[in-house]
Chain A
């Protein structure tokens, strides 16, 4: 009886808990980028998915160079070594687009929806650039050891029928996300620059009166956004494989995460990321075998006992978005504060 319960738990752990934590961290990092831009520059950046893709692409290119030269990190993927360069190039891209594109509209004090259309232009350009450089096809760049814990090792260790596998990419995702988030919060809450950013986001006029340089705040925002985008994009690519077109599809769950948590609120972005990730997995998970373990005897249901087919993953983030818009449009953490 207890064994059945443990087996059911292992099953859920393997197919919901572990992937959910990893996916949630990826979404949280993406949503943090969106939310930072929203809090400081006050617009929804539709190009964020492509920025993530760009960061991942640069990292992949550098990884290939490193792999060809024989550099590596042993059991860890070489991409981690390449990631800093990816981050720097992506930060350069963000600063460049700001200088060439967004700054003009800031000086003109354009309305948010103008920025939105401008970001669509950037989205178009970036998606073309990415496909032009690396091509539209899938790229595999993960190397090193594939698993931290293999399903079979878990079975032997615990004697259960169900395995619990943890991929290296999932472990790295979670560890990196925790580190980055801790660093970000330390920066925003403890440093002078971080505080000036929060002040600027809270009340622009008051911040200007206190002598905060708006251009510097904007620059730092883009630096953080670029770094976050490159990390999120690379981690997602490591975990699920890099396909240029998937990143446009990520925009929806990322925005949903940001809005669920309250746009402009970093804590909300993280919470939102996990809410979306776990809802997605819980709703599309086939409970057939879990029900089999939890009911007495050998009975197993005929159907998959799945609330929604896996093809409708995206619908989950959309429905959560709609529910939040209906019930509490400001999000869980009532956003617009950094």
Chain B
């Protein structure tokens, strides 16, 4: 009952924004709330089910964005002619080096020191070979009309495929990082994921042949109609006139509503699957491992193996959310990925919502995103009120007003600390089964 009430309050808040600011703003917030909820579900699978701290949410989100490019953008034939085959050959050389290195490391019947040196030698020479093949191809590709393309483009498929591909990308990286960092002390995973997420962002910023880097990829194709087409359609004019909303506003509302429906379907599907998993014997085992690793290990459960599994699954969900985010934005801007916004904010959502409870994570995604956006006008209003007694051009007042936006970081930190301290189980606590 209390849970329903919480969601009703959330809905009322969104409706308030709709009536007081505008419905467009309210729907934009709702769309981001839905995506945030999916991200929070992914983190909750890792943290709530298994107690794993993933500090690299940003990286997995960005990999989803990469998937959106690779899947949906039309291929650039000139770039493929210039260096496509060679680039693929270079990547294959890199892949072969990695596979060969792992094989050497695992299988070679020599002493440990010899193995370390041989693997290092193979890695170095393989890397050199890859660079030798790849570098000219990269130069050739980036030279193809750099102002317009300068990258390979994608496969030109419908962008909704990228939601699955984004999940797969994130899962692959998560598997690799989990293989290295899981099974060691708990904070090593946090530091390793923090590192890989930064590197993913650097990679996306600098590998122009794949992502156009900081030149961004704009105008990703949409899964929903374009406003301009709606505005051109006669039937739409009739509908708008019948509802009584100006055509331009109506078109943008309809587009956003379309997104809401799509995202809602994904959210409900992932929520349903997560709940099923949590209630299954698998979920029970995960909780057993989380609550007492040693006891679970003694019962014959493969703790590290299950951790790897749940880490990959959670990251895949985050990757899906990342692809959805790029779809909604209609563009891919690697420079916009900031750890505070994409990693730690999602953590606030999960903790505030209630770790271990999927419904809680969804609510947390909604509440925190809502206040992340609305904290800015609220903070500004508050600062205006605080400074109303000061002279109009007092430097302190100007400084406070100018930096009012940063109060939201402080607010989020404060919310996280207060919830951890006074209500560590969150808004919707985990149900003990």
Q: Which residues of A contact B (CB under 8 A)?
A: 43-44, 46, 101, 104, 111-114, 116-118, 120-129, 131-133, 135-136, 248-249, 251-252, 255-256, 259, 303, 309, 311-312, 314-315, 317-318, 321-322, 325-327, 329
Contact = CB atoms under 8 A, between A and B. Distances in A.
A44 B194 CA distance: 13
A132 B191 contact: no
A242 B218 CA distance: 33
Interface in B26-84: 51, 53, 55
Contact of A128 (B53, B184, B348, B409): B409
A309 B208 CA distance: 13
B416 A120 contact: yes
Contact of B184 (A111, A124, A325): A325
29 contacts: A43-B187, A111-B186, A113-B51, A117-B53, A121-B413, A121-B417, A121-B420, A123-B344, A123-B413, A124-B344, A124-B410, A125-B414, A127-B340, A128-B406, A128-B412, A131-B406, A132-B406, A132-B407, A136-B406, A251-B194, A259-B191, A311-B202, A312-B202, A314-B198, A318-B192, A318-B196, A318-B199, A325-B188, A329-B185
B355 to A, nearest CB: 9
B347 interface: yes
B121 interface: no
Contacts of A322: 180, 192
A100 to B, nearest CB: 8
B413 A252 contact: no
A255 to B, nearest CB: 5
Contacts of A133: 403
A11 B198 CA distance: 30
Interface in B172-231: 180-181, 184-188, 190-192, 194-196, 198-199, 202, 205-206
Size bracket of the B interface: 35 or more
A309 B206 CA distance: 9
Interface in B395-419: 399, 402-403, 406-414, 416-417
B251 to A, nearest CB: 36
Interface of B: 51, 53, 55, 116, 135, 180-181, 184-188, 190-192, 194-196, 198-199, 202, 205-206, 339-340, 344, 347-348, 351, 399, 402-403, 406-414, 416-417, 420-421
A283 to B, nearest CB: 11
B413 A125 contact: yes
A247 B406 CA distance: 17
The B contact surface, by secondary structure, is helix
Lowest 8 A-B CB distances belong to which pairs?
Answer: A128-B409, A125-B413, A124-B413, A128-B410, A121-B416, A131-B406, A318-B195, A121-B417
B407 A128 contact: yes
B191 A252 contact: yes
Nearest to A115: B187
A112 B187 contact: yes
B48 to A, nearest CB: 12
Contacts of A325: 180-181, 184, 188, 192
Contacts of A124: 340, 344, 348, 409-410, 412-413, 416
A315 B190 contact: no
A321 B198 CA distance: 14
